[in-house]
């Protein structure tokens, strides 16, 4: 996952703002309150992201009485962002569209009817919403969730999609107790890393599957440092009795699949009788194949997870509380993952 750091200068011009001061900060005196001009990554058609996106400058927009103008500080590039641009994601914004789906920003100004946010607050869009790859965003107060300004910016910008997915999947499908075990593929992904740490925090063991690739030994060591109990490459699991590779770990009750194909089959082989595999991605673009015996004799269950559906339901406030919990773990150093900074994209947002 890459991270875009937003750098912007709010240049004011005579007559550009008409403001009044109140005890809660800068608020609109009339409909003349507008956002500063903004730079944005836009696409007008679907296709490869490097071919269809471009950076444009946009005029400021009106900040209405219930609106909040946010100066974006950082936003990640998730695989789902690229899928939206390519046109292959199930839910896509209408074209033309601004890229990005999550991020963190600082409140610049608020409308006269805004009650719970003030200039200087740090906020994230919750539920996530499209258009975070721009320097200024104006949306209603209900879109924004205030977070602690002590949060590391890279975690604040990325906490919603991947860490929250990890936490919800650990909570929502099977009741797990300390001493239980889970199994997952795609363990080096951000979700995978979060699952390892959140499970360890609850005393839950993890079995982790990674691809055979250059650097797999280093990847194993990295996951072990995060708290993984076992880490196997896919080729190591090409044995008849896969559970014979386990030493003192119980058979997993819950598995997570973000790859599909043969890697999903390996997750299923580890599961105990009555176990559940949750699929939240399909990076290999290969189907999941399940043997008849897995259903009849092991009574396995297959489920799916899609965060966007969950956060568009009546569980938004619950998810916001979980986000606060995850950010607390990040501040305490109990939740760690790396973001790669893309200098080329960063330079597009720098002011001259």
- Residue 79: what pLDDT? 87
Using alpha carbons, select from 343, 330, 280, 21 the residue that is nearest to residue 159. 330
Tokens of 14: 């005579």
- Residue 129: what pLDDT? 86
Q: What is the pTM of this model?
A: 0.87
Tokens of 34: 């507008």
DSSP state of 243: G
Query: What are 46-92's pLDDT values in tens digits?
Result: 999 999 999 999 999 999 999 999 999 999 998 889 999 999 988 88
Q: How many CA atoms lie within 13 A of 44 on its CB side?
A: 3
> Which of 89, 155, 280, 337 is flagged as catalytic?
89
> In 205-328, at which residue ranges do the beta strands (DSSP E only) sit?
205-210, 230-233, 254-257, 276-279, 301-304
Please provide the DSSP assignment of 2-32 as one string: EEEEP-------TTS--EEEETTEEEESSTT
- Residue 7: what pLDDT? 56
Helix (H, G, I), strand (E, B), or coil: what is residue 161? coil
244 to 52, 209, 251, 269, 312: CA distances (angstroms)? 50, 15, 11, 11, 43
Q: Are 65 and 32 in contact (CB under 8 A)?
A: no
DSSP state of 247: S
Helix (H) or strand (E) holding 54: strand 53-58
Using alpha carbons, select from 148, 161, 123, 159 the residue that is nearest to residue 305. 161
A 10 A CB-CB count for 107 gives 22
Helix (H, G, I), strand (E, B), or coil: what is residue 185? coil
A 10 A CB-CB count for 311 gives 20
Q: Are 267 and 280 in contact (CB under 8 A)?
A: no
Q: Are 4 and 74 in contact (CB under 8 A)?
A: yes
Tokens of 133: 């790859």
- Residue 5: what pLDDT? 67
Query: What are 197-229's pLDDT values in tens digits?
Result: 999 999 999 999 999 999 999 999 999 999 999
Using alpha carbons, select from 130, 142, 147 the residue that is nearest to residue 321. 147
Q: Give catalytic status of residue 89 as yes or no.
A: yes
Using alpha carbons, select from 287, 244, 303 the residue that is nearest to residue 269. 244
Low-confidence stretches of the chain (pLDDT < 50) are 8-25, 28-30, 341-348, 351-352
- Residue 284: what pLDDT? 85
- Residue 30: what pLDDT? 46
Q: Are 136 and 103 in contact (CB under 8 A)?
A: no
Tokens of 302: 């297959």
Helix (H, G, I), strand (E, B), or coil: what is residue 50? helix
């Amino acid at each position: 996952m890459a991270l875009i750091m937003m750098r912007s200068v709010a240049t004011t011009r005579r007559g550009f703002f008409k403001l009044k001061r109140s005890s809660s900060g800068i608020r609109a005196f009339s409909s003349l309150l507008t956002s500063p001009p903004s730079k944005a990554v836009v696409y007008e058609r679907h296709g490869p992201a490097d071919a269809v996106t471009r950076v444009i400058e946009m005029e400021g927009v009106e900040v209405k009485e219930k609106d909040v103008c946010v100066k974006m500080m950082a936003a990640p590039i998730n695989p789902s962002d690229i899928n939206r641009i390519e046109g292959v994601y199930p839910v896509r914004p209408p074209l033309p569209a601004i890229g990005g789906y999550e991020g963190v920003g600082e409140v610049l100004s608020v409308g006269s009817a805004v009650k719970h946010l003030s200039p200087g607050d740090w906020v994230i869009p919750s539920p996530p919403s499209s258009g975070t790859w721009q320097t200024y965003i104006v949306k209603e107060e209900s879109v924004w969730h205030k977070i602690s300004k002590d949060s590391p910016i890279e975690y604040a910008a990325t906490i919603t999609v991947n860490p929250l997915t990890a936490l919800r999947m650990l909570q929502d499908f099977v009741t797990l107790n300390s001493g239980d075990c889970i199994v997952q593929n795609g363990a080096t992904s951000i979700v995978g890393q979060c699952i390892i740490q959140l499970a360890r925090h609850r005393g839950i063991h993890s079995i982790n599957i990674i691809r055979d690739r250059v650097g797999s030994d280093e990847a194993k060591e990295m996951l072990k440092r995060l708290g993984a109990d076992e880490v196997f490459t896919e080729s190591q699991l090409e044995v008849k009795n896969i559970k014979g590779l386990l030493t003192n770990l119980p058979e997993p009750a819950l598995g997570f699949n973000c790859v599909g194909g043969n890697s999903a089959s390996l997750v299923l082989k580890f599961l105990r009788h009555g176990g559940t595999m949750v699929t939240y991605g399909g990076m290999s673009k290969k189907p999941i194949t399940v043997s008849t015996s897995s259903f009849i004799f092991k009574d396995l269950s297959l489920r799916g997870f899609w965060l966007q559906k969950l956060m568009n339901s009546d569980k938004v406030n619950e998810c916001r509380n979980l986000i606060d919990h995850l950010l607390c773990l990040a501040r305490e150093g109990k939740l760690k993952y790396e973001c790669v900074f893309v200098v080329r994209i960063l330079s597009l947002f720098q002011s001259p």
